[in-house]
Chain A
Amino acid sequence: MISLQHVSKTYRNGVTALEGVDVEVEKGEFVFIVGQSGSGKSTMIRLLLKEEEATKGDIYVGGKHLGKMSSWDVPKLRRNVGTVFQDYKLLTDKTVFENVSFALEVIGKQKHVIDQRVPEILDYVGLGDKLNNYPDELSGGEQQRVSIARACVNRPLVLLADEPTGNLDPNTSVDIMRLLDKVNRIGTTVVMATHDQAIVDAMRKRVIELDKGHVIRDQSRGVYS
């Protein structure tokens, strides 16, 4: 599903964020990317979304070679890759329903599709009763659920999560992890960058550890360190 082969990324200011990274992720896997701040976790996520181009090496997502992909095809890639961030990235002037429907609306989905899928996915993440609330009226955990619903509403093949529990307390974090696990069980490949040790240790999933841009550990059913 995801394949990085000898991938290096050096930013224009000379900082090398990734160097010689080789990673294979199969369909349906759940993978943690762990490491210190600045170890290259976020860069890896950005590369997979083609927000950044690899300086060297080849990246494949869903069988597509990102380096050879024209900018016209990037939106298609992103429709197949859901994203969740630490800061939720919700629109505060839209309701929960509107935040999720926005993601379908802007890729040209028909109204009847939206009206069917949005309540469905919000129900799935446990917010079936908060459709008309605004993000301000929700707790952090609930806001992250909205953002997960938005990432999943178009049924992506891959879900990328960059520190999704970074702003949440431990109990809420566990709830979010249960939800991500649930999303993973229906076949979505999940890649999650985190430095939340407790969660990684509790989940016992595959762990890839980055340090200064290098993969220093790739362990199935691993722990944080």
Chain B
Amino acid sequence: MRLEYYFRETAAGLRRNGIVAFAAMSTAFIALFLFGLSLLISREFSLVKDAWTGNVQVAVYLTDPAKPETISRLQTTLGDLEAVGSIEYWDKARTCQQYDQLFEGQEVFQEGVNCEEAIPTSFRINLSDPAKYDQITAALSCIPNDTGQIECTEPGVRNVSDFRALLDRLTTITNVLQYGVLAISVIMLAAAVALVANTLRMGMFARRKEIGIMRLVGATNWRIRVPFLIEGLVEALVGATLAIFFLFVIKVLGIDQLRGSVQFFPLIKNSDVLWVAPWVLGFAAIIAIIAGTIGMRRFLDV
């Protein structure tokens, strides 16, 4: 009885407010879509960053096979440097795990290459201060050769990779894209809140006579409000569902087409879009709650 009542009232409200409800829904859709997009962008670039650099600034590769005493000696040498913030040793297993991730789905690299043989083990280093990078090359007696590789004379060390510039660039691109899209989505979210609040207010205005009677006969405030709240929630959730759907569309029609044609470049998967979905739905609920609070503030004091 009760549920049926709420659904009936909500459906009637949406029908009555047709065009305004549509405007609210489409704004919520665009806002939530952009919000989800900004999450996916940051997801994508963190995948790239991780794959390319292991999310560290410096990698020190060791000559194969690395002897345990070499590893511990170098760990001490490097760990004692003031420049080194954190240091982690990647053995073969950890190294190949990242390799698999980087070349996932690309058979040439998966089957044609034996990761264990091809890729040396390494120390992954985050610097306490990027400017002190030179301490590392000095400690390992490394100099750049003509091809730009940094080769070292320290026994057991093969070469050093400096990811600082690359990381900086990736971070900048991510930030510009992500925060740009996020900023637009925030504006759209505000617009969505305003529009949903407006449909609620219009709905209540259209039904002020009914609301007046409900109050007279002793309906509780919640009894009066809930149909409107559900209406706002439905509008926001319809927007969210569309947004999630179109994020999948983008992923299938856009990202998936790139798969296989770009190498050394991990791409987001369905699971990443799924990871975004609860955030989008959560924000839809927040839109509805704020809109409900704003839209009904004035109308409903007993």
Contact = CB atoms under 8 A, between A and B. Distances in A.
A103 B223 CA distance: 12
Nearest to A160: B216
A111 B8 CA distance: 15
B300 to A, nearest CB: 10
B209 A89 contact: yes
A153 to B, nearest CB: 9
A37 to B, nearest CB: 22
Contact of B213 (A49, A89, A111): A89
A19 B115 CA distance: 94
A75 B213 contact: no
Interface string B1-27: 110010000000000000000000000
A143 to B, nearest CB: 14
A79 B218 contact: yes
Contacts of A71: 221, 301-302
A77 B218 contact: yes
Contacts of A108: 2, 223
Instruction: Say what secondary structure dominates the interface of chain A.
Output: helix
A110 B5 CA distance: 11
B214 A49 contact: no
A66 B32 CA distance: 47
Contacts of B215: 75, 78
Interface residues on B, range: 10 to 19
Contact of A111 (B1, B217, B220, B301): B1
B254 interface: no
A108 B214 CA distance: 11
Query: What 7 A-B pairs come out closest when comparing CB atoms?
Result: A79-B218, A78-B218, A106-B219, A103-B217, A75-B218, A75-B220, A106-B214
A50 interface: yes
A110 B1 contact: yes
A106 B220 CA distance: 8
Contacts of A74: 302
Interface in B38-79: none
B302 A79 contact: no
Given A89-B212, A91-B210, A150 B217 contact: yes
A78 B216 contact: yes
Nearest to A89: B213
Given A78-B216, A110-B1, 5 more contacts: A75-B219, A89-B209, A91-B209, A103-B213, A108-B2
